[in-house]
A and B are shown apart, each in its own frame.
Chain A
Amino acid sequence: MIGIRSRTAVVLVGALVVQVAIVPHLAVGGHVVDVMLLMAVVSGLIAGPDRGLVVGFMAGLGTDLIVGTPFGLWTLVGCLMGFGVGTVYGRFVEGGRIVRIFTVMLALATGTALFVVIGRLLGQEFLGEVDLIPILLTVSVGGAILAPLAIRALAWAFEMDRLPWEPSR
């Protein structure tokens, strides 16, 4: 269990470094991929709601440490998305690669929109003025491209021999 925690921490710190040091250089129209939210979503996808919740919490906390929006907002969104995807995928949604990609894209877009909605409820009026559509497109499409890497990294962190949708050897 300690091994899993350490590995997860390594993966999340690595994701945070990617988010702050590499992703800004690859912005499209000023919009960037959200690697930390991707981690929350993917952990729910491959390891279920409980682990999705924990990783979502840690990933969100990491994001909160590097941004200027109210502290805890991304943490809350990470929790909800990690738990939500873990609950929905496998119970209500199941399918091949295409379905998984769409699940990730939809979850990333939902998480981003959720951040805006909760932020506005908390009085962050400026969130109502952002151009959300291109942001959602960048986050979801970019996330889908990076998802295979995130899945491999988190599978290593969780010491999974095989992914849930892979046939047993």
Chain B
Amino acid sequence: MLVLTALTLITLDFRGDGGGVLGSARNTVLDVLGPVRSAFSWVFTPVGNAWNGITNYDDLEAENEQLRSELDQLKGDTLQVAELQRRTRELQLLLDLRDTDELLPRVAARVIDAPLTNFEQTLEIDRGATSGIRVGMPVESGSGLVGRVSQVGRTRSRVQLLTDTGFAAGVRLVRSGDSGVAHGEGSGRELTVDFIELETVVIPGESVVTSGLEGSVFPEGLLVGTVVDARPLPALERQEVRVAPAADLERLSFVQVILYRPPPVDNRPVEPPPETSVPTTADPGRDGGTPETVPEPGSSTTVPAGTAPTSTPPSPTSPSTTAGSAPATTASTPTTPTTSTTSIPGSSTTSEGAAAASWPSGWGKLWGVSGSEIVNEAAVIPVPGAWGTTLSWSGTATS
């Protein structure tokens, strides 16, 4: 009976998508236990620090050395940065531009405690819904992105750290401008950035910032970290980049929650400019001359209005469709009932963790569509399956 109850709870949680009664119960517990945690934190922080000193003594010593050398370097850089900031401000005034990042309101919060369990990289902060915080909002420290708000109580919130294995964010390499998706790899490990072109020159130490592409939960330009190294993956025509988080996630006392809500995604299909149009057939060279067919009206890929999206992410190395078969990714959209999205061979679909929820139902998001005009950018490609074969998208296309 109790096992059945547990299974029922799991089902309810999945049906409620983490919200509903169970979500409210969690938020209540977060609020109730918050003061208890604060009180214990006050008592046990010195104990924890001593324990850390014992268990991580060697690391602390090495870190001290590194910090000293970095401090020396930063002292020299400070003057240069001030000069660059002054020149940037002058140019912004000249061009009548304003830094969007500076316009975003922020809420400062105190970090209460560290991760509770082994399978989550989260921390708790002493601000909640009453301060305007909502699930999904970005959290940063003075040195860079920390994570995003994953749970909000009345006066407390929980933040998913960017090292959490469930964390993903759209990022951009500052030097090359290439975009990719950063994933957390667990406590104390670097992030991994996928979907960086093989040809891109990635330099260790290069800064990585949030890309802020349409649909992203993060605004553009938040510092995520610096490149550690890059590993080419010739089979996928990409490289995997390891990035060290800029924020020191082990020693956070205060953070800032950016009260940023991603702008609604423009759902209106836009006619593509002729020179960057997406082909209705796939590059024959990639899948042995098998063109990808766009679903004809009434074909099996057209999903009736009101049905939930049924998306099957194709493997980047194996085309998602075969000759004459339907595209692997099909979905309905609430605005154009008989519209479906299609994937392109060699492409892969992904989502930015919770960010995927911010995309309109039934709209796919493609990353790293190589072999066509869209490369390493987020794109939404609705295909009017019932009325024609014209493809259109919103997003940026680069060749």
Contacts and interface: CB of A to CB of B under 8 A. Distances in A.
B99 to A, nearest CB: 33
Interface string B1-21: 011011111111110001000
Nearest to A23: B116
Tell me the interface secondary structure of chain B in the complex.
Answer: helix
A128 to B, nearest CB: 8
A27 B114 contact: yes
B135 to A, nearest CB: 11
B113 interface: yes
Contacts of B2: 53-54, 57, 79
A127 interface: yes
A163 interface: no
Interface in B315-338: none
Contacts, number: 142
Contacts of A67: 116-117, 119-120
B9 A71 contact: yes
Contact of A115 (B44, B47, B119, B166): B119
Interface string B355-374: 00000000000000000000
B6 A60 contact: yes
A32 B10 contact: no
Interface stretch (B33-41, B262-270, B379-387): B33-41
A131 interface: yes
A57 B45 contact: no
A32 to B, nearest CB: 6
A76 interface: yes
Given A21-B36, A66-B33, A76-B3, A32 B164 contact: no
B86 to A, nearest CB: 41
Contacts of A126: 164-166
Nearest to B49: A25
Interface in B89-120: 113-120
A73 B165 contact: no
A144 interface: no
Interface size class of B (residues with CB under 8 A): 35 or more
Interface size class of A (residues with CB under 8 A): 35 or more
Nearest to B167: A126
Given A54-B2, A63-B117, A127-B119, A68 B13 contact: no
Nearest to A27: B114
Contacts of A43: none
A123 B260 CA distance: 29
Tell me the interface secondary structure of chain A in the complex.
Answer: helix
Given A72-B8, A73-B10, A131 B186 contact: yes
Interface stretch (B22-30, B196-204, B288-296): B22-30
Contacts of B114: 24-25, 27
B7 A25 contact: no
A122 to B, nearest CB: 7
Interface string A107-135: 00000100110010010101101110001
B151 interface: yes
B33 A20 contact: yes
B33 A72 contact: no
B355 to A, nearest CB: 15
Most buried by A among B11, B150, B186: B186
B284 interface: no
B3 A80 contact: yes
Contacts of A135: 118-119
A28 B12 CA distance: 34
A93 interface: no
A20 B10 contact: no
Contacts of A31: 118, 187
B122 interface: yes
Given A21-B40, A29-B55, A139-B118, A122 B10 contact: yes
Given A68-B150, A70-B13, A24 B6 contact: no
Most buried by A among B6, B158, B166, B187: B6
B9 A34 contact: no
A68 B120 contact: yes
A30 interface: yes
Interface in A45-101: 53-54, 57, 60-61, 63-73, 75-76, 79-80
Contact of B158 (A16, A68, A119): A68
Contact of B51 (A19, A25, A130): A25
Contacts of A30: 115, 187-188
A72 B3 contact: no
Given A25-B48, A29-B55, A65 B29 contact: yes
5 contacts: A19-B116, A25-B51, A53-B2, A79-B6, A131-B186
Given A24-B115, A70-B13, 12 more contacts: A17-B40, A21-B39, A25-B47, A30-B187, A32-B118, A34-B117, A60-B6, A68-B120, A70-B10, A72-B10, A130-B165, A135-B119
List 7 A-B pairs, minimum CB-CB distance, nearest first: A72-B9, A25-B48, A21-B40, A30-B187, A72-B10, A71-B13, A126-B165
